[in-house]
């Protein structure tokens, strides 16, 4: 079997712990770049838009364009990883990220900035899909939990450091907002070099036709739906002809994609993987986690700044309890799963804690003590840390090695799509609730303000310029509206809990994806024996 392979292939199908840690260094550098790109710009966007003389709708598109490109291209990257060299694809995605970052940093108009964010998003989509695929290729499922903590640490550092770095760069006159984009370039180049030196993967290239029509239909359909949920309630009403065109067109494109994917021999998303109960349930749970987690927590920074009157830098630090909870729980749960081989109990406990954390956060207001807030956020972080990464582990453990890329990217895709939908829909709910609460508060205080105060979704009110009576009204409105978001997000977490309860626990495999692929290739080669570029089995 694998022992009789050519020596050149031996290191590829079995890596020592030291080799795995070396390869992980490049993967982690790449993941840090992707996370930093999404967080470092958040505090800088108002300055960027003002400097370029752009409109409020441009503000929305600078944020949305990267998210759209990342979410829509994840399945395609995942499929390509099943067909071509994973290391080369990972380096290509990093190179695209570098190009996008340089274009963004040198932008002198909002059009080029939005285009550069699309390029960045395509690169980030590759990193999101491929990092976990590569990990599954070199690490057996039974051992994957040990390395999940490193992922959690990188996620935590990137999430916390991003807004702080962005704030410092914008406030430093001799640097400025352009360095928010330039700062990721050295990390990306370092990741490319590290991957070249440390990652040893076999070149598995199959002569197949890529399903470009299916890829186009999936990307177009997903983009139409994501553009709809991103702009509805802001640029146009939910009940409007634009909604009909974008939602109806998106659904029709996706129906066409399903028909094409069902007939092509090498689909971008193999529909057969959804016959696997584990993949279907973990996909549903990932979608719901995206809606609940990202949709609920993305507005916490705004709550800290507006309702609690904190600066952007302090607001970034205030999210530490949630990030630390995520880091500790993902690390500890991963170690215990690797030691015991039992994983379902941690998924169930994580989903339950996530629901409890969201329900507790639904009780906050403008007067909530930070100690209580920290406890609620820590509970939410612990739940998400136990749940998010281990959903991927459960799916990767239960699919053929040839479908590892497709299964992993499907989960990442649905989690990202859930997050986009959650942010957009809950953002519209927030704007409407803020507007109604402010109207109520201002009228009871005897203050009349023309136009809707809470309608500006893209901007946070400058609390320092508001008179005291109006400031208290705004603080109360954002406190009540943010609590409502968590209340709306809680049922999605409960549905995710239902999905993971129905998962069937299966023993974690003790061979890596490459070793499993070699075994599967050997079984396939038995009938008929065809010489191909994939590692031949003696």
- Residue-wise pLDDT for 245-272, tens only, equals 998 999 999 899 889 888 887 787 778 8
Asked if residue 219 and residue 200 are part of one domain, the reply reads no
Please report whether residue 369 resides in a domain: yes
Q: Is residue 270 part of a domain?
A: no
Q: 487-499, pLDDT tens digit by residue?
A: 988 999 999 999 9
Residues 250 and 290 in one domain: no
**Per DSSP, what are the bridge partners of residue 236?**
232
Residues 503 and 514 reside in one and the same domain: no
| Residue 437 sits in the same domain as residue 529 | no
Helix or strand (DSSP H, E) at 276? none
Q: Which structural domain range is residue 163 located in? A: 1-207+510-538
Task: Count CB atoms within 10 A of the CB of residue 418.
Answer: 25
Residues 348 and 465 in one domain: yes
Q: What CA–CA distance (Å, rounded) separates 167 from 176?
A: 10
Residue 114's CATH number: 1.20.1250.20
**Does any domain span residue 271?**
no
- In this model, does residue 405 exceed pLDDT 80? no
**Any domain includes 361:** yes
Cα dist. 1→15, 397, 467, 506, 520 in Å?
17, 21, 77, 25, 11
Same domain, 382 and 334: yes
CA distance 475 to 308: 7
**How far does CA 489 lie from the centroid of its chain?**
17
Instruction: Dig out the tokens for 196 from the structure.
Output: 């070249």
pTM for the model:
0.77
On whether both 288 and 433 belong to a single domain, the answer is yes
Sequence length of the chain is 538
| Domain match, 183 and 95 both | yes
Kindly tell me if the per-residue pLDDT of 444 is higher than 90.
Answer: no
Instruction: Quote the percentage of the chain above a pLDDT of 90.
Output: 13
Residue carrying the six token digits 């024996």:
529
| Judgement on whether residues 181 and 245 belong to the same structural domain of the protein | no
Q: What is the pLDDT of residues 162-189, one digit of tens each?
A: 777 777 787 777 788 888 888 888 888 9
3-state SS assignment for residue 236:
strand
135: CB partners within 8 A, 6+ apart:
24, 27, 144, 147
Same domain, 314 and 225: no
Which residues are CB-neighbours of 370 under 8 A, at least 6 positions away? 308, 318
**Domain count across the chain:** 3
Q: Is residue 128 part of a domain?
A: yes
Any domain includes 398: yes
Q: Which residues of 161-184 are buried (b: 16+ CB within 10 A; e: fewer)?
A: bbbbbbbebbeeeeebbbbbbebb
* Residues 245 and 293 reside in one and the same domain: no
Q: Is pLDDT at 355 greater than 80 in this prediction?
A: yes
């Amino acid at each position: 079997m694998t022992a009789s392979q050519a020596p050149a292939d031996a290191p590829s199908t079995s890596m020592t712990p030291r080799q795995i840690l070396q390869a992980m260094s490049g993967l982690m550098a790449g993941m840090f770049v992707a996370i930093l790109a999404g967080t470092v710009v958040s505090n800088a966007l108002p300055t960027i838009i003002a400097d370029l003389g752009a409109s409020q709708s441009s503000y929305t598109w600078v944020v949305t364009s990267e998210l759209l490109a990342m979410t829509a291209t994840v399945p395609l990257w995942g499929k390509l990883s099943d067909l071509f060299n994973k290391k080369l694809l990972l380096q290509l995605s990093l190179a695209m990220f570098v190009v996008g970052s340089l274009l963004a940093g040198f932008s002198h108009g909002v059009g080029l900035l939005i285009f550069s964010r699309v390029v960045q998003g395509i690169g980030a989509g590759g990193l999101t899909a491929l990092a976990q695929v590569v990990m599954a290729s070199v690490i057996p499922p039974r051992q994957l939990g040990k390395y999940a903590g490193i992922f959690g640490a990188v996620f935590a550092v990137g999430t916390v450091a991003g807004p702080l770095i962005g704030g410092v760069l914008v406030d430093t006159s001799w640097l400025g907002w352009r360095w928010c984009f330039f700062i990721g370039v050295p990390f990306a180049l370092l990741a490319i070099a590290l991957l070249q030196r440390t990652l040893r993967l076999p070149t598995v290239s199959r002569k197949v036709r890529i399903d470009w029509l299916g890829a186009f239909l999936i990307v177009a359909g997903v983009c139409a739906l994501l553009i709809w949920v991103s702009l509805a309630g802001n640029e146009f009403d939910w009940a409007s002809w634009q909604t009909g065109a974008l939602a109806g067109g998106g659904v029709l494109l996706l129906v066409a994609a399903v028909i094409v994917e069902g007939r092509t021999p090498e689909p971008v998303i193999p529909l057969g993987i959804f016959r696997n109960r584990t993949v279907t349930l973990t996909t549903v749970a990932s979608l719901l986690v995206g809606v609940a987690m990202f949709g609920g927590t993305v507005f916490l920074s705004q709550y800290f700044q507006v309702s609690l009157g904190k600066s952007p830098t302090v607001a970034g630090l205030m999210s530490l309890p949630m990030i630390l909870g995520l880091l500790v729980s993902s690390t500890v749960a991963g170690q215990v799963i690797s030691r015991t081989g039992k994983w379902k109990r941690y998924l169930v406990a994580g989903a339950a804690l996530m629901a409890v954390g969201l329900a507790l956060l639904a009780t906050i207001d403008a007067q909530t003590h930070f100690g209580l807030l920290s406890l609620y956020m820590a509970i939410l972080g612990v739940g998400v840390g136990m749940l998010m990464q281990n959903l991927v582990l459960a799916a990767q453990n239960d699919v053929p090695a040839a479908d590892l890329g497709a299964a992993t990217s499907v989960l990442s895709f649905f989690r990202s799509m859930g997050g986009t939908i959650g942010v957009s829909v809950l953002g519209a709910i927030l704007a409407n609730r803020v507007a109604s609460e402010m109207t109520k508060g201002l009228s009871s205080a005897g203050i009349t303000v023309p136009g809707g105060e809470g309608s500006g979704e893209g901007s946070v009110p400058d609390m320092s310029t508001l008179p005291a009576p109006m400031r208290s009204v705004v603080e109360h409105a954002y406190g009540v509206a943010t609590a409502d978001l968590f209340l709306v997000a809680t049922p999605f977490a409960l549905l995710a809990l239902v999905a993971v309860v129905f998962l069937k626990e299966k023993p974690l495999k003790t061979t890596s994806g490459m070793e499993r692929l070699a075994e599967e290739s050997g079984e396939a080669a038995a009938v008929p024996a065809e010489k191909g570029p994939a590692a031949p089995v003696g």
